[in-house]
Amino acid sequence: MATMDGNEAVASVAYRCNDVIGIYPITPSSPMSETCELWESQEKTNCWGVIPKIMEMQSEGGAAGVVHGALTAGAMSTTFTSSQGLLLKIPNMYKIAGELTPFVMHVAARTLATHALSIFCDHSDVMAARQTGFAMLSSGSVQQAHDFALISQAATLESRIPFMHFFDGFRTSHEINKISWLSDDLIKAMISQEALDAFRRRGLTPDNPSIRGTAQNPDVFFQAREAINPYYQACPDIVAEKMSQFAELTGREYRLFDYYGHPEAEHVIVIMGSAASTVQQAIDELLPLNQKVGVIAIHLFRPFSLKHFLAVLPDTTHCLTVLDRTKEPGSLGEPLYQDVVTAILQSGRQSLPKVAGGRYGLSSKEFNPNHARAIFAAMHNGTLQHNFTVGIVDDISGLSLPAPQTSLEPKRQLNAIFYGLGSDGTVSANKNTLKIIGEQTPLNVQGYFVYDSKKSGSVTTSHLRVDQHPIEAPYLIQQASFIACHQFDFIYRLEMFEQAADGATLLLNSPWPAGETWNHLPQEVQAVILQRRLTLYVIDAAAIAEKLGLGKRQNTILQTAFFAISQILPMKQVRQLLKESIAKSYGKAGPAIVEANQQAVDETEQYLQLVTIPESINSTLFRTPVISEHSPEWVQKVTALILANKGDALPVSAFPVDGCWPTATSQWERRSITTEIPQWTPEHCTQCNQCNLMCPHGAIRSKLVSPEQLDDAPASFTSMPYQYRDFTDQLFTLQVSPDHCTGCGVCTQICPANRKGDTLTMVAKAPILETQRQNYEFMLDLPDLKRIQLKRIDGRNSQLLRPLFEYSGACSGCGETPYIKLLTQLFGDRLMVANATGCSSIYGGNLPTTPYSKNHEGQGPAWANSLFEDNAEFGLGMRLASSSRRSYALEQLSLIADDLPDEQKQQILLDAFDHSESAVERQRQTIQQLEETFGNLDYLKDLVEKSHWIIGGDGWAYDIGFGGLDHVLSSGENINVLVMDNQAYANTGGQQSKATPTGAVVRFANRGKQGKSKDLAMSMMLQGGIYIARIAMGANINQSLKALQEAADYPGPSLVIAYAACITHGIDMSCGIEHQQQMVDTGLWPLYRFDPRRFDQGKAALQMDSRTPRKDVRELLTSESRFNQILQKNPARFQAYTDSLRQQVQHQHTLLNQLKEWK
């Protein structure tokens, strides 16, 4: 037996059955690729003694191409994908199927992006590929995914039909469960050596030459296409045979269509994927009530076998309901429904059951036994409508089914829910707990993890089940016997303990001892504890972590506390197992960290306290409203419910039909996720505004105000005389938002005045929370400066301008967001953004709140995301649209031109193509005058020049989107590109990209990046007509600002590549600025600007903005764990990487010096 998640269960079989694996990261399938690459780096072999060759490609289409080539040449190959990645593989899928090539592709099924992107599960992606000719095998649990990975591999070789083995993304791919492991010997017993040899003999080779991929004409194509029919006709029987063989070897029986329920069922549900287990649980509750119900779980969806389907469908069925986990707008029914209807019509039965189709579970919408019961009830009552939905409230079409409110959660030894904060270690600790229980006891385990829409500062919810019996419950825990809250502030804004069963146990990470904690609980929480007779334990994990030198890492303490309370294992055994796990997990962090965590295991129990529960509520506190009463109506009616984890209750009518959402909503969300915030002391402040500029979340603001504007300021409001000449007789104030600060500490690290005294210091938030809220809100209401008031914008005074990008959900200390924030301060009121999918699209455009904001005139950035691969083209289209709309506006303006002075007409024409501050301000005043004269003319606003920016990360720009980016930059159009380079696919977990430097250990490169990083700037520079800059704000603020301004001013394409420190680098993110400086000082990130306009002046286009490298690269490498972990594992390899990087720095420096002479 082994404890693992679905991705690892599938990868373990795929790796052992194949020779070549083409990979590319996409959530939620990436861990399969990561696991295989890790095994390759450990030189593990497949079942035939060969180490599979892993090849990361530039896109999913590239991965499909490389495996197609490998298959053609006779090597067993596989790949993994999801969602849009699967769509990019479709052209190759047609080819692979058309050539009858044995092949298995494993898909963690995920929602396709339509009106919005979603990383969660449904079957829209696999259904979009159902016409390719691939057999489609669906698994519904971690065990099934493990088993079907092998069954599909055996069946593809025997049938010659390529297989798409798919399972529910996240729900199965990321669920941890205890499974029966398939050995190498069993795998080889399932694989026909004869079929494998036959496949290899068909491989393309000069020793037996043949031609594939010919072009055919109308005289023969049709006949040749029909020649494959016998293979598809034989495929279902081959799969059934392999399932029978598998049952003989393992004792686990599967069929193409598995029936469960009453042998004379009258009401039957047909379903595919993990939800079949959910329906089975509902059936178990209904059968004792004499209800004749059943479920058919479809495994082999393509080819759809009429014979096998009818064999399991009870003859007594008179109502059949087909559930599809996808939506096909405009169709008479979804794909599975249409196949079942066809099967029923072709069955030849005299009495045909009534068939209805419905939709469930889109984007991982919860589907639990209550929903299944609702469907059976509607079937029984005869009220079921075709095209119904379940799990939502559809108040527009009226097709949704209400779900019963009674819970059917079976009693288990443990149903536990843990609430934590992203990157606080809660999820990792819970995964480790499952491993310990699953592998050290005979108990069965299941774990599923829910994340909100933020990055590393998200709320995480871990659902853990433990029982003596196997656990197949693919839905969230509804009544928990144990609930742990690892962040005390959560009790003021989240309904957590409401999910506790009567008599459950609670664990609260509290800064107060047992005798005081009760008085700090809001009344709502006290009421739940009393009503349900809950037991409450508290522990001050933060204090223990501080004492032991663990900093903010409290997960080991809280994990030990869980074991101490639950007593699932003897504590002596728990301590030993935890210490072994700590040595393995934290070994690369050094012995001090290992010892501190192990000491925490020993000492935690003595700090665990039981709270004596009073007989009545005595708190004066209440939960904090999630949204201010002053927020807009939309925010109060929609956003507030989503923030309160009640988005499931929102009806269909609450949502925009086209996916268009309002901006400026993040200001209303009070995340309040840190216990410390910076406090400003003016005495030594130089008013440099570097803290403001580098704040990743826009939580620090500075303003200039006149003394009289502070007459009504709160008593604690702080200001000081402004020191610079551009504004006289003004006061300078700097304030921090206590609700939006994430406590990253970047501001305190960059503050130059901190060298003289405590100008910005991190202090406990709780004592100053209310006063600082008042100060900050008062400051926000003070007037903002306008750009037109600044004669020259530099790094200091730019921060006196209001940012129109604020309070994003990016990781604490993020190195990307300061660039975007600055961009909005420079051009926000006329900014058009096309954003590639990636980190910046998630923190920039993920619900429930969006950080792009508006000024007091209602103007602000207009933002859109299309896909990952097409962002450059998408942004170019937006630029062309603006140009077209401007042409139309000028044409319409000509209709009233006779009434305008010639000088004004000429100025309007000039300003329509000028995005400078003076031109924009003048044009807007002109438009206002024209509207006062001629009335409201909508087209006039198109005469204000927009600032178009295409934004994305290095994964997009260097890899999947490079072809489009190259074309757009070669177009000559006036378009700006900002690439925020964090040197990895950070959004999907930190996989290798072409920007990853030599020697960096990232996912897909566990031994360190072997090759050199791609120099995008240099390759574009050689085209000659593109403005190009490499910047690092932490190393040179004004150079970064100047580059953005010059790029915007350049009358053609521009490319600005910005270095962004990232949590995936293995650094303290409060020191991200220092690492940017190190990158520049070592020459690994030279700063420069390349402006082709200088050619016309007889000057060199290239201007170097950083000095000759003055520090050795080793200084940086030893300070970032992505590099220095190689030093610990393999010093010789580390030295080789170091030498390579030194050579690269020297080569690049030499080349740049030569290009400085290019005039």
Tell me the pLDDT tens digit for each residue of 817-842: 999 999 999 999 999 999 999 999 99
Quick one: which of 872, 903, 742, 718 has its CA closest to 808? 742
Distance CA 1095, CA 1048 (A): 18
SS (H, E, C) 500-550: EEEEEEEEEECCCCHHHHHHHCCHHHHHHHHHCCCEEEEECHHHHHHHHCC
């769509």: which residue's tokens? 87
Quick one: which of 394, 463, 472 has its CA closest to 434? 463
Distance CA 551, CA 540 (A): 13
Catalytic-role residue among 8, 37, 40, 60 = 60
Is residue 385 packed enough to be buried (19+ CB in 10 Å), middle (13-18) or exposed (0-12)?
middle
Count the alpha carbons within 13 Å of 87 in the hemisphere toward its beta carbon: 14
Structure tokens at 215: 């072009």
Q: Give every residue of the chain whose pLDDT is below 50, as ranges.
A: none
Q: Is 484 helix (H, G, I), strand (E, B) or coil?
A: strand
Residue 983 confidence (pLDDT): 97
Residue 411 confidence (pLDDT): 84
Specify the amino acid at residue 363.
Answer: S
Beta-strand pair 319-324/267-272: parallel
CA 1046, 1047, 1050, 1054 torsion: positive or negative? positive
Structure tokens at 431: 């995964």
Catalytic-role residue among 7, 16, 18, 110 = 110
Q: Is 677 helix (H, G, I), strand (E, B) or coil?
A: strand
Is residue 1150 packed enough to be buried (19+ CB in 10 Å), middle (13-18) or exposed (0-12)?
exposed
Residue 453 confidence (pLDDT): 67
E-assigned strand segments in 408-458: 414-421, 444-451
Structure tokens at 471: 């656990």
Order the strands of the 720-721 sheet from edge to edge.
700-705, 731-736, 720-721
Structure tokens at 834: 């096309």
Reply yes or no on whether 7 is catalytic: no
Residue 368 near residue 409 (C-beta atoms within 8 A): no
């919860």: which residue's tokens? 366
Q: Is 175 helix (H, G, I), strand (E, B) or coil?
A: coil
Residues 6+ apart with CB under 8 A from 1072: 746, 813, 815, 1034, 1061
Residue 591 confidence (pLDDT): 87
Reply yes or no on whether 595 is catalytic: no
**Type and span of the H or E element at 571:** helix 571-586
Order the strands of the 293-298 sheet from edge to edge.
257-261, 293-298, 267-272, 319-324, 354-359, 388-390, 400-401
> What domains are defined for the chain?
2-204+224-250 (3.40.50.970), 257-401 (3.40.50.920), 414-610 (3.40.920.10), 625-661 (4.10.780.10), 679-785 (3.30.70.20)
Per the annotation, does 36 bind a ligand? no
Distance CA 215, CA 226 (A): 16
Residues 6+ apart with CB under 8 A from 865: 117, 834, 835, 836, 837, 841, 844, 845, 871
Catalytic-role residue among 3, 18, 27, 78 = 27
Residue 23 near residue 33 (C-beta atoms within 8 A): yes
Per the annotation, does 744 bind a ligand? yes
Count the alpha carbons within 13 Å of 786 in the hemisphere toward its beta carbon: 11
Residue 847 confidence (pLDDT): 87
Catalytic-role residue among 72, 835, 987, 996 = 987
Structure tokens at 866: 């299309």
Distance CA 981, CA 998 (A): 15
Per the annotation, does 235 bind a ligand? no
Reply yes or no on whether 987 is catalytic: yes
Distance CA 133, CA 227 (A): 13
Per the annotation, does 660 bind a ligand? no
Residues listed for the chain: 1159
Strand partners, 463: 417, 448
DSSP secondary structure code for residue 1065 in this structure: G
Exposed e or buried b per residue across 170-182, where buried means at least 16 C-beta atoms within 10 angstroms of its C-beta: bbbbbbbbbbeeb
Q: Is 301 helix (H, G, I), strand (E, B) or coil?
A: strand
Reply yes or no on whether 27 is catalytic: yes
Residue 3 confidence (pLDDT): 96
Residue 391 confidence (pLDDT): 95
Residue 879 near residue 974 (C-beta atoms within 8 A): yes
């393509």: which residue's tokens? 302
Residue 679 confidence (pLDDT): 96
**Type and span of the H or E element at 294:** strand 293-298
Residue 958 confidence (pLDDT): 97
Distances 517 to 510, 560, 604, 620 between C-alpha atoms, Å: 7, 21, 18, 13
Residue 407 confidence (pLDDT): 63
Q: Is 919 left (phi over 0), alpha (psi -120 to 50) or beta?
A: alpha
CA 988, 993, 997, 1002 torsion: positive or negative? positive
Per the annotation, does 319 bind a ligand? no
Distance CA 747, CA 681 (A): 13
Per the annotation, does 485 bind a ligand? no
């990253």: which residue's tokens? 744
Residue 796 confidence (pLDDT): 95
Structure tokens at 1047: 């790029």
